Structure 1
């Protein structure tokens, strides 16, 4: 990832960058990210003891989501101030700290992940390939399945929020690039508030927490779409940023806590596939909505459709009483791999 950023920086600063360079490096970055995200997220369980794992996972999830929201704003500021080449150079340099920290870690301090027990005389279930095993596990574990479903519904619309904000800045408020930067900054500010609120959470993470955060996000999006003027829109946009971070952090944390240690990487891989994949599919749809129906209608749909999905999920969970199940690292119901369907 550092190499791709450094390569693009070198090409941009030398004046030899071409469109195919950007496409090729984006492809490489996508492949690397697909490998990096699940490994990095599941690595937490190997460096933190079980007692502190819930807080550690919440912290990592929070920083991941916060970086995804604040990073584009910082990148945009750098590109406007010093140019794209130097912005990517700074991006490459930021990888030095994490790489050095990883190299300084001692292998003896790593925690050995637990493996699901196998009954006497029972043969271990054969391992299914990667995402397939994670999918099979998720389908039989409600505390993984339903957060992933809700993340997919919201990801389809909210990952492309900057596209909708660009339409607002251009067509609704007529503020251009400067106004777009302000709107993105407001979302990032709200995300910071959401991060601080999430970090102070002391109650055990429950499935209902994800549901409440999803409702808050959907409500903020719908209200922002109906905002009568720009000040009201800005205020509600900050609420969107805070609710978005709270929702994604709680969903990702719950998915990781609900996953068995030896399956966490595969489950996180499935989560990231749904999260990023839904955004990739939803981007063109959100763009078309904003272009043909207007920015307000596009934002309204971005909140209303996930709200319906959340309502259906919560209704199902209420019927099955899953909303009343406390979910901590010690009380999550885990399906034994031997009970999963074999393919």
Structure 2
């Protein structure tokens, strides 16, 4: 039976590895949000183009095409080691932007180049950290651990967005980037403090050598594993749809919405971004406190709520109403994304988790496609019409997915709804 279990909410922190991974993920997420907000505003002000803003946002996700290979690498060398190398890369690239800003040589072209390089790596961070959480946590604590892990991104969109906007407005881009580089360095060191778990299924040297010669075979096996498991395939399609039609409205387009629709500045943009994160944080905390959830049904209901809220958000004209809409949208998207992660991680065998999360990250490629299409549509028909079209299309396609896989998603006794 469902019920609140407040003392158990912090149970994942009894695991030593989690006590290091959680703050490492938190600092990384803070740095991500500060960079997205600062660079997005910089590009919009310097170029004055919503199309270039959507191109900038899209570059952050170019690496989704190779995300499954990060899953393969993680399954081979260990998710801890891979995550530490990725975060060291963020620190180097952010340091380059910091140097350019402090020396007065920064330009939109350099921003696009460095963001494109970082975009090859960064989309896989969420998947690799999710696979590592699933590896270090007991099965019965997985929902709580993933929910608490999700709060690192939620608090980042609050603290990271507000602090990033504040530092940028008060001190300029260079000093703000000094803080970002510091966050990346500390997060890398904390990630290295996680004790890499032993491989769950040891293999002999001959088999290991064969596997190392055929990474594409690993990749094909991972894709086939997801594709032949109906509840995983349905969850992946919902993730694809949300990235294509929901996230562009509350993510990459926010600088344009803040400046052109509401006529506000960097601080207003910070409030809009933080409001989405506040709702998301409430959703993450609530789900970490509640047990006995029918996860697939929760995923469906939360996604419907998300699209319904975005339909309203596309029409509102005041900042205060937009903040309320974004809070509700953040709340529902948190429940949706946690549910998808739980369905995938519960279903996946231990030695497939990296590849499964790699496939999950691959569908994020629909986000830059949605962003670029939205940029063109806004120039033609305006934001309100574009937002309404995106939310209505997303809701319609979601219902089609649910109807097609209703036996795997809606039936009470379906494995995806197991308590």
Mapping for residues 78-93 of structure 1, pairs under 5 Å? 78-93=167-182
Q: Please give the per-residue CA displacement for 1:38-71, whole angstroms capped at 9, x wherever unaligned.
A: 3332122332233323322333244346546764
Task: Tell me the secondary structure at the aligned position of residue 405 of structure 2.
Answer: helix
1:189 and 2:278 aligned: yes
Task: Find the counterpart in structure 1 of residue 92 from structure 2.
Answer: 3
Task: Find the counterpart in structure 1 of residue 350 from structure 2.
Answer: 261
Task: Find the counterpart in structure 2 of residue 56 from structure 1.
Answer: 145
Cα contact 1:167–1:295 (8 A) shared by 2:
no
Task: Find the counterpart in structure 2 of residue 245 from structure 1.
Answer: 334
1:206 and 2:274 aligned: no
Q: Distance in 2 between matches of 1:15 and 1:169?
A: 27
Cα offset for 1:326? Answer: 4.9
Q: 1:10 to 1:272 in 2, by over 3 A?
A: same
Q: Distance in 1 between matches of 2:274 and 2:266?
A: 12
Return 5+ residue gaps in structure 2 as ranges.
Answer: 1-89, 203-210
Q: Distance in 2 between matches of 1:321 and 1:11?
A: 50
Task: Find the counterpart in structure 2 of residue 132 from structure 1.
Answer: 220
Task: Find the counterpart in structure 1 of residue 192 from structure 2.
Answer: 103
Cα offset for 1:153? Answer: 1.0
Moved more, 280-289 or 209-218: 280-289
Cα offset for 1:127? Answer: 7.5
Moved more, 27-36 or 233-242: 27-36
Q: Please give the per-residue CA displacement for 1:282-337, whole angstroms capped at 9, x wherever unaligned.
A: 111112233322222222123111101110111122256754345479x69xxxxx
Cα contact 1:259–1:267 (8 A) shared by 2:
yes
Superposition TM-score, scaled by structure 2 size:
0.67
Task: Find the counterpart in structure 1 of residue 233 from structure 2.
Answer: 145
Q: Distance in 2 between matches of 1:174 and 1:315?
A: 42
1:32 and 2:109 aligned: no
Greater share of helix: 2
Q: Distance in 2 between matches of 1:233 and 1:20?
A: 32
Task: Find the counterpart in structure 1 of residue 200 from structure 2.
Answer: 113
Moved more, 31-40 or 320-329: 320-329
Cα offset for 1:23? Answer: 3.4
Number of corresponding residues? 320
Q: 1:72 to 1:101 in 2, by over 3 A?
A: same
Q: 1:284 to 1:52 in 2, by over 3 A?
A: same
2:244 to 131, 152, 156: 156
Q: 1:290 to 1:250 in 2, by over 3 A?
A: same
Q: Distance in 2 between matches of 1:6 and 1:51?
A: 40
Cα contact 1:9–1:85 (8 A) shared by 2:
yes
1:306 and 2:397 aligned: no
CA RMSD across the alignment: 3.2
Q: 1:188 to 1:45 in 2, by over 3 A?
A: closer
Q: Distance in 1 between matches of 2:333 and 2:119?
A: 23
1:293 and 2:293 aligned: no
Q: Distance in 1 between matches of 2:102 and 2:126?
A: 29
Superposition TM-score, scaled by structure 1 size:
0.80
Cα offset for 1:216? Answer: 0.9
Return 5+ residue gaps in structure 1 as ranges.
Answer: 116-123, 333-343
Moved more, 213-222 or 317-326: 317-326
Task: Find the counterpart in structure 1 of residue 309 from structure 2.
Answer: 220
Q: 1:59 to 1:80 in 2, by over 3 A?
A: same
Q: 1:86 to 1:177 in 2, by over 3 A?
A: closer
Q: 1:188 to 1:206 in 2, by over 3 A?
A: closer
Moved more, 48-57 or 8-17: 48-57
